[in-house]
Structure formats: C-alpha cells, structure tokens
C-alpha cells in the first residue's frame, strides 16, 4: 500500500501517450503503402510524336494528330448534374418533381435530330469535384489520395487537355468555380473565378458566370469557353434534391441555357461566329437525394452530358451508332446515349485537333465524335477519294484512323508507365494487351494496303466493306476497353511490405493495450486486496467479442453501407443482455426499458432520414398522424421543427443546473460556467428564431443572427476552454473532493463543448445531444445496478467493459443518426459555414471537423469519467482515491482498445479488399474515417488524462 500511495499521475497516464505514438507510426506505414497515388509521368504529348505512330501517313503533315473537326467549343458545367435532371422523365419508373425542368435540352435533342444528343456520363469514384475535373482533363483514372486536396487543389502537373490547348495555340476562357484556376493556374487567356466552397451561397458563382458568359459569346478572342455553375451542387448540399431551391435552380438554368442556345444559333450561319461550334452542357458528377456526393453509388457516378453541334451531319449516320431514342411528354423522339467520362479528354482533343494527353487511357467516343459535321470531311489517310463512297463508310474509315492513333497513344503510355513505375502492371496482362494491339494493328495494315491504287484485292473499290471497317473499329475498341479494365483493377501501386509493417505495429499496440489493462487491474488489486486478481474475465472477453463482430462486418461493402444499423443492432443486443440480467436478479429497472426505447426511437429516426436539419419530415415519416386528422400541410409541421429544438435546449439547460446544484467544488467558477453555457443556449435559440421563415425579421437582425451570434457562441466556448485550463492549474480541492471535483470538471467540459456542437449541427443538434445524455445516463445507471452488493452498496472492482463498449457504440450510432456516414459525401459541408459567409480553409476545416466528430468522439470521450465517479461516494479515503484514478484509467484504456480493435479490423479489411471494385468508393473512405477517429480518440484520451487526473496523489494529500 505504501508503494501504491506514492503513485503519481504519470505512472497511470504514460501508457496513453505511448499507445498514441505507436498508432501514429503504424498508420503512417500503412497509409504509405495503401494510399499511394499512381505514378504521374512527366512526359507530354507533342504534335511531332505522331511521326512515330504506324497510323502516320506523309500526306497528313498539315494537321497535328487529327484534323480539327470543330473551330470553337463551349463547355457549360452544371456541378452535380444528375442524369434525371436532363433525361426525359419517361425513362424512369416514377416521375419526380425535379425531372423535366431542363426542357430546352430535351427540346434540342428532339428537334435538332442527330446534331444534339443527351448522354448518360459515367464518372469514376470518388466523385469529389477536384477528382472529376482532374479525370475529365487528363483522361486518367482518379487516385484516392487526391480527395484530401479537395479544399486546396494543387496545380495539375501531368499532361492534360488544358495544357495541350494552350500549347497548341487554342485560346481558353474560364468563368465560375475557382477550382479551375487552382488546377490550371497558367492555362487561361482570360479567367473570371469565383469562390466555390460556401455551399450556403447559391447565386454568387452562377450570377458571375452569367455576367461574363453571355457577353463572351459575342467575342472572337477565344477558341474554348468554360463556364462552371455551382448552384445545383450547393442547393443539394443544403436542401437536398427534392426541395424548392433545387427546382428553382433548375428552372433558372433552363432559362440561361435557352438564351445561350439562341445566341449560338443566331450566329451559326455560313461565315458566322459559331458556324462550326460545339456546345457541351455537362455535370462533373451526380448527387444523392440528400444532395451529397463523393462515393460510388449510381446516383453519384451517373451524370449528364448534352452535346449539340451547330452543323448538321448527314442523316445516314444514325444507322451507324448505338444511340437509342426515348420519347418526351409530347411524344417527340429524344436521342439518348452513354459515355464514360474517361473518354472525354481524348474525344475533345480529337475534335479540336490537338495531341491527346499523354496519360489518357480513354477512347474517342463515336457518338460524340460523330455529332460534328467536320468529321465527315477529313482527308483519308493514305487513300484517294471515291465518289461512290457513302457517308457511313467515309465516317467509319475516318473513325478507324482516329482509333488507330488513339490505341497507339494508349499503348505507348502503358509501355512507358510499366517501365517507369516501381511496380507497373503484371507481365501476363501486358502480354495479353500486346497481343490484342498487334492483332488490331495487323488488321489495320491489311486494310491500308488493300486501299492502295492498283491493288487487285479491292476489285475496283477504293474502300473496304462496312463489315471490315466495323471489325477494325471493334478490335481497337476491345483493346482500349481491356486497358481501362486493367487500370481500374490494378492501377494503385499497393506496397504490401509497408502495409504489413503498419498492420503488424497496430496489432502490437493491441497487445500493449491488453498488457496495460492487466497492469491497471493489478494496481486496483493492490488498493483492494479483497478483489480476486484474475486474468481477463469471461465478461471482458465476451464484450470484446461483440466489438470483433462489428469489426468483421467491415469485410462486406453492404454492411459498411449499413454500418449504423449494425452498430444499433449490437448496442440493442447489449441492452437486452442488461434487461435479462436484471430480470434474473428479480429487478425491473426503468433504465433498461428506457435504453431500449431510446435505441428504437433513434433507429426510427435513422430510417426516416434525420438529415438536412429537418424535424418535420422526421415526425411525418415516423408517426401516423393521419389518424388524428393532421395532414402533411397542417401548420403544426411548420411550428414543431421551430419549437422542439428550443424545448430541448431548455431541458438541457435544466439538466445542467440540476447537475451542478449542491456541489461545492469550484464555487463561483461553477456558477460562471453554468451561466455562460445557458447564455450560449439562449443565443442558439435566438439564432434559430432569426433564421426562421415564420417570422419576417429585418435584414439587419438576420445578419446579426447569421454571423454575429454564432461567432459570439464560438468566442464564449473558446473562452470557457481557456478558463477551464487555467482552473486546472489552480485546483487545490482535488485532494479533498475527488468525486465532486471530477464530476464538475466533466460537466464543465461537456457543457462548454455542447453549445458549439449543437450550433454547428443545426436544429437536430439538441435532439442528438439530449439522446446522448439520456443514453449515457441509462448506461451509467445499469452499470451501477450490476455492481451493487447485497447490502445496497456499490462494489469496487476492475472497470466493467460492457458499459464502456455501450458508451462507444452509442457514440457510433449518434454519428450515423446525425446524418453522417463514412464517406466524403457524408460530410455536411454546409455546417462549415455556420457563422461565416467567406471561405477560410483552416477555419472551415475546424468547424466541419467539430460537426463530423462532435457527438461521436469529442463529447463521449470527454464524458467517459461519468462511467466511474458514480461508483464512489462523495468523501473518499486515500485508498478509494487511488482506486478511483486507476478505475478511470481502465475506462479510458478500454475505450481506446475498442476503437483500436475496430480500426485494426478495418485495415485488415481494406488490405483484403484492395482489389475490390468499391475500394476507392467505399473501403478507402471507411479506412480514412476510422484512422482519423483513432488518432482523435488517442489525442482526446491523452488530454482527458491530463485534465482529470490530479498533479500528484501522495500521503500528504490525505492530510
């Protein structure tokens, strides 16, 4: 006992810092092996390179790689443009309110015949804007690590379409999303960038685009015009797809596009400014019904591309392509086709007559390439003209020649990449590609020889049959498709050695975790010799088994998508175990039923979609209100979402006051904290009232509510954190009032953080925080009841792992119930601008970080001491004080172990599934979220140990 009486806090908390250091090393190694980008080659395509191609003919030296088919190109990018925003509603099973709003595109695709087509454009995940813009311009597949740069886009250094345009004398103008300027800082002759990250701003970027786009259409000083609109993307992030702001934006775009097309058509006559102009209206990615994107679901990867040439190609071309016809509401035929976004860069390069980007692995899309009248009039490579040749034969011959150049360029890139890259592609795959390319090239050579004058095999015909040309096109297309398939499956260079080292170190940390927990159990035994010192109990092993079950579910992409439901099910299972245990002890505690009822309510909330800060929709979906004669349009649904969050704030303020009342620690500081926190709650309520649509508040008050009040709340929270830090060093009551001091510290830190977390989370914040408080109270009470002895006192023992695991699982459930999920489209970007309109990378990142991890990590870990202090009386002996601190260290260790186990299993899963189709769309984002969560958990545990533990525990304290 004497030896234990001299325990200092560092003896208890140094393992936390050691484990944190080990985790950082392990994650660093594993990340270096798993999240490697593909090797970006420094080579660039040049016009002169075509002389090395077998497709090159001496009579084609006047052009670069291909003869330009168009003179000018207008690209209108509507960010997050879903396919069903553009395609006729008849194409879908059910017509939705947001469909058929872009009528002008459907009208042109039907009236203009084969000169206009609607494409379903398929993007490659992850579907963040930076990824998509990089993929569209380079023609390469995305690399996951670039997602982290989405809020600070670095300049693209590899070969790309914009570089080729600028290098070959094409004048490029840009307006709209400033991401373009960040990616291509020196490629535009003129640019009008606007800040793009304030998702609450629906109009600034769009208005700027319109302001500069319309006048630019009358200018001659550009060859390529890019306008990137953001309103639809921002409306989706804030309000969702099924919302009036979204419909209003689509209707606004319809008017803008109609005006643009009128200007282009009016100048498309012979000798006109837009005689040979191609218009592309496209999205960079889609979005879910919640307005999010970043993952790989069909809603996110399927976007639209509308293409219209102002010259009409021959009508006979329609028989040569796989373009389907759909009917709009008026019965008109609408041309609908499909395209891979991977093909965009090389197709546009072929149309404009510039070299294809060196790293492009796409194929020149036949439907988009055929829309331009210029493709009909290309001189034939190595062949004289034949008057008897049909338009289809002529086009197919031209397209086969373009695919020859396309295939040569891709083959050249694959060969150089395999030699330059550390790992490259497997030899057997390269041999297969070599055989496919050789066969296609041999067939092309035979066709070219058959076309030479005097060749008897031609039987007087200058050109081969349509069947031969189609076979040649198919041969090149199959080769390009095989390259794409190989790149998609094995593009990333996984360094298995680094991954293995990282995984091994993380497994070692689990062993260290268990050793440290056993050491803490031994220290507890020294304080209480009556406790039987045992190895890890069956209850401890069973509890960890539940954690392992959750972790094992990460092997399945389906279970990752429903991770919130899995955690809720396992948490409910532990609640049933608690209920069964109480029944066996002939007790029926209300806490067990309340806990299960809370989980049921949260599960219903999750099913109903508690996102976008809408409470009314939640209640309408949860309760059968029609029984009471209340329909969806009843005024009660306008009042409830405004009133209920404020009522929850009042309840939380009441709980805070009751918790601190009667405690004698910290005296005036305690009351100051209570008053300051309640004042923050009041400001939150005022902030929501001023933002409400019910009251017609003046613009001045709206500005105060939107900016001044949130910043005041942030300031109060930050000031309270500083005050608590100072109070920690001035605390002299810890040695006398352990229980009350830790209780006040815990309540103080939780109340300090709660106001900021609730403000950022919006009107759903009070519900989530209140659910966290109720769930935590149930877990604490059930843990106390299980430790009660026959005489009614609480037995002292090693920390029970089950309440800690329930505490952890409840935090996981709240993460999903608050509208988040482990994907980049699960980030609520709108929350980052709470209190601010202008974009600042560091500030917005901090606010978004708090919104994402506030209820899942910050509040639960800082509140972990509540699992311990209620097991001890207010006045403690020296031995009980030591036992309390050891017990607290056990709880923090077990909580960290739970997080470490799940993260370790996640890393094992992504190692196994590294070749899975959804690795970048699902498994890699899950890995990133878990790794960030583990590091945050370690940091918070270390800070908690410094904050809650006294400076020293010695016999002198007993005096």
Which domains are present in the chain?
2-33+496-958 (no CATH), 68-376 (3.40.720.10), 388-491 (no CATH)
pLDDT digits (tens, 9 = 90+) for 154-183: 678 888 999 999 999 899 999 998 889 888
As separate numbers, helices (DSSP H) first and strands (DSSP E) second, the chain gives 35, 9
**Separation between Cα atoms, residue 510 and residue 13, nearest integer Å:** 17
- Sequence-separated (6 or more) residues with CB below 8 Å from residue 704: 690
Strands 277-282 and 302-309: antiparallel
Write down the pLDDT at residue 613: 40
The answer, yes or no, to whether residue 585 has pLDDT greater than 50, is yes
Contact 756, 714 (CB under 8 A): yes
> What is the CA 821 to chain-centroid distance, rounded?
9
The larger pLDDT score, comparing residue 702 to residue 938, is at 938
H/E element holding 75? strand 72-78
Cα–Cα distance measured from residue 942 to residue 889, given in angstroms and rounded to the nearest whole number: 11
What pLDDT, on a 0 to 100 scale, did the predictor assign at position 323?
56
Pick from 256-270, 443-457, 462-476: least confident: 443-457
| CB contact set of 175 (below 8 Å; sequence gap of 6+) | 191, 192, 193, 194, 208, 209, 212, 213, 216, 226, 227, 228
- Strand, helix or coil at 310? coil
- Give bridge partners of residue 325 from the DSSP assignment: 335
Check residue 707 and give its pLDDT: 84
End-to-end C-alpha distance for the chain, whole angstroms = 17
**Per-residue pLDDT band at 237 (split at 50, 70, 90):** confident
Has residue 826 got a pLDDT over 60? yes
Q: How far, in Å, CA of 664 to CA of 730, rounded?
A: 16
| Angle of the 590-608 helix axis to the 801-817 helix axis, nearest 10 | 30
Nearest to 238 by CA among 732, 598, 733, 762: 762
Mean pLDDT of 306-311: 87
Q: What's the pLDDT score for residue 146?
A: 46
Average pLDDT over residues 837-844: 81
Q: Are residues 436 and 411 in contact, defined by beta-carbon separation less than 8 angstroms?
A: no
Of all residues in the chain, what percent are helix, strand and coil, respectively (each to 5)? 65, 5, 30
Task: Taking residues 187-208, report their average pLDDT.
Answer: 86
Q: What is the DSSP letter of 788?
A: B
Q: How far apart are CA 189 and CA 178, in angstroms?
A: 15
Q: Can you tell me whether residue 192 is helix, strand or coil? A: strand
Whether residue 857 is predicted with pLDDT greater than 90 in this model: the reply is yes
Q: Which residue would you say has higher pLDDT here, 799 or 937?
A: 937
Distances in whole angstroms, Cα of residue 434 to Cα of each of 78, 346, 429, 437, 439: 40, 21, 9, 5, 9
Half-sphere exposure of residue 810, counting CA atoms within 13 Å on the CB side? 32
Task: Report yes or no: 210 and 192 within 8 Å, Cβ to Cβ.
Answer: no
372 has a pLDDT exceeding 90: no
Least reliable range by pLDDT among 318-322, 446-450, 865-869, 875-879: 318-322
pLDDT in tens, 481-510: 999 888 877 665 567 888 899 999 999 999
Closest CA to 157 of 124, 132, 186: 186
d(CA 852, CA 263): 46
State how far the Cα of 471 lies from the Cα of 488, in Å rounded to an integer: 25
* Nearest partner of 531 among 310, 800, 184, judged by Cα: 800
Per-residue confidence band for 151, with pLDDT thresholds at 50, 70 and 90? very low
CB 578 within 8 A of CB 588: no
Lowest mean pLDDT among 140-149, 451-460, 672-681: 451-460
pLDDT at 620: 45
pLDDT confidence of residue 765: 87
pLDDT digit string, tens, across residues 635-662? 565 666 778 888 888 898 888 887 776 6
The CA distances from residue 719 to 667, 723, 753, 759, in Å, are 18, 6, 11, 16
Of residues 543 and 21, more confidence is placed in: 21
DSSP state of 458: G
- Return the SS3 of 88: coil
- Please give the Cα distance from 855 to 857 (Å, whole number): 6
Greater confidence (431 vs 624) lies with 431
- Percentage of the chain lying above the pLDDT 70 cut: 76
Q: Where is average pLDDT lowest: 30-44, 99-113, 833-847? A: 30-44
ω into residue 173 within 30 of 0, thus cis? no
| Residue closest to 762 by CA, chosen among 823, 710, 699, 822 | 710
**210: number of Cβ within 10 Å:** 20
Do the bridges between strand 116-122 and strand 302-309 make them parallel or antiparallel, or are there none, so unpaired? antiparallel
Q: Show Cβ contacts of residue 583 under 8 Å, excluding neighbours closer than 6 positions.
A: none
Smallest CA-to-CA distance from 65 within 402, 437, 477 is with 402
> 346-355, 519-528, 862-871 — which is least confidently predicted?
519-528
Site of tokens 């970080």: 849
Q: What is the pLDDT of residue 523?
A: 74
Residue 5 has pLDDT above 80, yes or no: no
Q: Is the pLDDT assigned to residue 887 strictly greater than 80?
A: yes
CA 849 from centre of chain? 13
Answer yes or no: are the C-beta atoms of 477 and 363 closer than 8 Å: yes
Average pLDDT of 518-536?
63
The answer to whether 714 touches 835, Cβ cutoff 8 Å, is yes
Name which of 617-631, 682-696, 767-781 the model is least confident about.
617-631
Q: Is the pLDDT of residue 264 over 60?
A: yes
- Provide the pLDDT confidence category of residue 608 given band limits of 50, 70 and 90: low
- Residue 552 confidence (pLDDT): 84
Between these two residues, 864 and 921, which has the higher pLDDT value? 864
Tokens (6 digits) for 158 = 């590899």
Average pLDDT over residues 179-201: 86
Check if the beta carbon of residue 239 is closer than 8 Å to that of residue 246: yes
CB contact set of 44 (below 8 Å; sequence gap of 6+): 159, 163, 167, 358
How many other C-beta atoms lie within 10 A of the C-beta of residue 548? 12
DSSP string covering 110-149: HHTGGGEEEEEEEPPSS--HHHHHHHHHH-S---GGGGGG
Q: What is the pLDDT of residue 609?
A: 47
In angstroms, the CA 525 to CA 883 distance is 9
Instruction: Kindly indicate the confidence band of residue 955, based on its pLDDT and cuts at 50, 70 and 90.
Output: very low
CA 195-201-202 angle, 5° bins: 105
Nearest Cα neighbor of 185 from 170, 171, 174, 196 is 174
Q: What is the CA radius of gyration of the chain?
A: 33
Considering the chain, what is the average pLDDT of its residues? 79
CA max distance for the chain? 115
Spatial distance between the Cα atoms of 949 and 865, rounded to a whole number of angstroms: 10
Which H, E and C letters describe 711-757, residue by residue? HHHHHHHHHHHHHHHHHHHHCCCCCCCHHHHHHHHHHHHHHHHHHHH
Residue 388, pLDDT above cutoff 50: no
Q: Are 103 and 254 in contact (CB under 8 A)?
A: yes
Given a cut of 80, whether residue 525 has pLDDT beyond it is: no
Q: How confident is the model at residue 673 (pLDDT cuts 50, 70, 90)?
A: confident
Whole-number Å distance between alpha carbons of 612 and 594: 27
Confidence of residue 347 (pLDDT cuts 50, 70, 90): very high
Percentage of the chain exceeding pLDDT 90: 27
Report the pLDDT value the prediction gives residue 712, as an integer from 0 to 100: 92
Which of 564, 561, 559 minimizes the C-alpha distance to 607? 564
pLDDT over 60 (residue 464): no
Q: Of 68-77, 305-314, 420-429, which gets the smallest average pLDDT?
A: 420-429
> Following DSSP, what letter does each residue of 393-431 receive, concatenated?
HHHHHHHHHHHHHHHHHHHHHHHHHHHHSSS-S-HHHHH
- The pLDDT of residue 196: 78
* Predicted pLDDT at 528: 59
Q: Which residues in 706-743 are b (16+ Cβ under 10 Å) and which e?
A: beebbebbbebbeebeebbeebeeebeebbebbbbbbb
pLDDT tens, residue by residue, 243-255: 898 999 999 999 9
Residue range 898-918, pLDDT digits in tens: 999 999 999 998 888 776 656
């Amino acid at each position: 006992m004497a030896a234990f009486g001299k325990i200092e806090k560092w003896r208890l908390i140094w393992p936390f810092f050691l484990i944190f250091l080990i985790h950082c090393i392990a994650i660093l190694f594993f990340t270096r092996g798993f999240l490697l980008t593909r090797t970006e080659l420094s080579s660039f395509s040049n016009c002169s390179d075509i002389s090395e191609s077998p497709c090159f003919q001496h009579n084609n030296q006047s052009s670069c790689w291909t003869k330009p088919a168009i003179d000018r190109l207008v690209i209108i990018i509507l960010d997050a443009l879903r396919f069903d925003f553009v395609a006729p509603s008849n194409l879908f099973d059910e017509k939705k309110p947001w469909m058929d709003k872009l009528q002008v595109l459907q009208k042109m695709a039907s009236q203009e015949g084969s000169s206009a087509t609607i494409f379903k454009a398929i993007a490659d995940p992850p579907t963040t804007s930076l990824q998509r813009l990089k993929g569209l311009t380079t023609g390469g597949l995305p690399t996951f690590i670039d997602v982290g740069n989405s809020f600070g886009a670095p300049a693209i250094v590899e070969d790309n379409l914009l570089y080729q345009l600028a290098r070959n004398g094409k004048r490029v103008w840009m307006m709209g999303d400033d991401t373009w300027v960040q990616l291509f800082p020196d490629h535009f002759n003129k640019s009008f960038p606007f800040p793009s990250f304030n998702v609450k701003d629906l109009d600034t970027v769009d208005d700027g685009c319109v302001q500069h786009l319309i006048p630019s259409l009358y200018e001659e000083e550009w060859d390529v015009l890019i306008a990137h609109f953001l309103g639809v993307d921002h409306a989706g992030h804030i309000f969702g797809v099924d919302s009036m702001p979204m419909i209003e934006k689509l209707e606004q775009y319809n008017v803008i596009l109609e005006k643009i097309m009128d200007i282009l058509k009016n100048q498309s006559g012979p000798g006109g400014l837009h005689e040979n102009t191609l218009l592309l209206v496209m999205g960079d990615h889609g979005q879910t019904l919640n307005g999010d994107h970043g993952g790989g679901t069909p809603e996110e990867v399927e976007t639209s591309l509308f293409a219209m040439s102002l010259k009409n190609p021959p009508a006979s071309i329609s028989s040569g392509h796989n373009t389907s016809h759909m009917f709009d509401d008026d019965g008109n035929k609408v041309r609908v086709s499909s395209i891979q976004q991977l093909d965009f860069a090389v197709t546009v390069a072929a149309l404009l007559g510039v070299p294809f980007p060196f790293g492009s692995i796409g194929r020149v899309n036949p439907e988009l390439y055929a829309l331009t009248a210029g493709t009909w009039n290309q001189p034939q490579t190595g062949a004289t003209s034949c008057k008897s040749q049909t338009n289809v034969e002529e086009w197919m011959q031209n397209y086969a020649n373009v695919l020859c150049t396309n295939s040569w360029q891709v083959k050249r890139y694959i060969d150089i990449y395999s030699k330059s890259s550390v790992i490259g592609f497997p030899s057997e795959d390269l041999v297969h590609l070599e055989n496919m390319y050789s066969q296609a090239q041999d067939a092309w050579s035979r066709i070219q020889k058959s076309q030479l004058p005097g060749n008897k095999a031609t039987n007087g015909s200058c050109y081969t049959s349509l069947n031969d040309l189609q076979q040649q096109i198919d041969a090149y297309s199959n080769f390009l498709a095989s390259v794409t398939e190989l790149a998609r499956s094995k593009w990333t260079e996984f360094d298995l050695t680094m991954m293995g080292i990282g995984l091994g170190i993380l497994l070692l940390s689990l062993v260290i975790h268990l050793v440290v927990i056993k050491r803490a159990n031994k220290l507890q035994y020294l304080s209480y010799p009556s406790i039987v010192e045992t190895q890890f109990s069956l209850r401890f092993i069973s509890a960890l088994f539940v954690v392992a079950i959750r972790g094992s579910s990460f092997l399945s992409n389906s279970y990752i998508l429903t991770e919130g439901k899995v955690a809720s099910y396992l948490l409910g299972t532990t609640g049933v175990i608690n209920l069964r245990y109480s029944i066996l002890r002939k007790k029926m505690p209300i806490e067990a039923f309340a806990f299960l009822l809370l989980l049921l309510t949260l599960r219903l909330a999750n099913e109903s979609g508690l996102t976008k800060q809408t409470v009314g929709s939640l209640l309408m979906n949860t309760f059968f209100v029609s029984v009471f004669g209340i329909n969806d349009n009843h005024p009660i649904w306008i009042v409830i979402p405004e009133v209920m969050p404020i009522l929850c704030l009042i309840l939380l303020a009441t709980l805070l006051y009751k918790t601190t009342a009667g405690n004698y620690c910290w005296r005036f500081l305690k009351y100051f904290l209570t008053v300051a926190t309640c004042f923050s709650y009041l400001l939150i309520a005022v902030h929501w009232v001023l933002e409400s649509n019910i009251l017609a508040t003046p613009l001045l008050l709206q500005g105060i509510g939107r900016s001044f009040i949130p910043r005041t709340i942030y300031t109060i929270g930050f000031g309270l954190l500083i005050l608590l830090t100072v109070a920690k060093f001035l605390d002299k009551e810890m040695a006398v009032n352990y229980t009350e001091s830790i209780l006040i510290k815990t309540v103080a830190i939780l109340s300090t953080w709660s106001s900021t977390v609730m403000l950022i989370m919006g009107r759903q914040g009070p519900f989530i925080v209140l659910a966290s408080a109720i769930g935590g109270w149930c877990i604490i009470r059930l843990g106390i009841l299980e430790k009660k002895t026959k005489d009614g006192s609480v037995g002292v023992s090693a920390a029970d792992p089950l309440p800690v695991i329930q505490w952890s699982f409840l935090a996981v459930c709240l993460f999903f119930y608050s509208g988040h999920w482990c994907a980049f489209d699960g980030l609520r970007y709108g929350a980052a601008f709470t209190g601010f309109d202008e974009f600042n990378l560091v500030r917005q990142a901090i606010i978004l970080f708090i919104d994402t991890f506030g209820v899942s990590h910050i509040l639960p870990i800082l509140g972990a001491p509540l699992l311990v202090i209620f097991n001890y009386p207010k006045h403690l002996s020296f031995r009980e004080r030591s036992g309390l601190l050891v017990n607290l260290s056990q709880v923090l260790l077990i909580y960290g172990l739970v997080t470490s186990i799940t993260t370790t299993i996640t890393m094992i899963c992504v190692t196994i599934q590294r070749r899975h189709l959804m690795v970048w769309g699902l498994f890699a984002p899950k890995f990133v979220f878990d790794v960030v969560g583990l590091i945050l958990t370690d940091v918070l545990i270390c800070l908690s140990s410094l904050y809650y533990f006294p400076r020293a525990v010695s016999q002198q304290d007993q005096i």
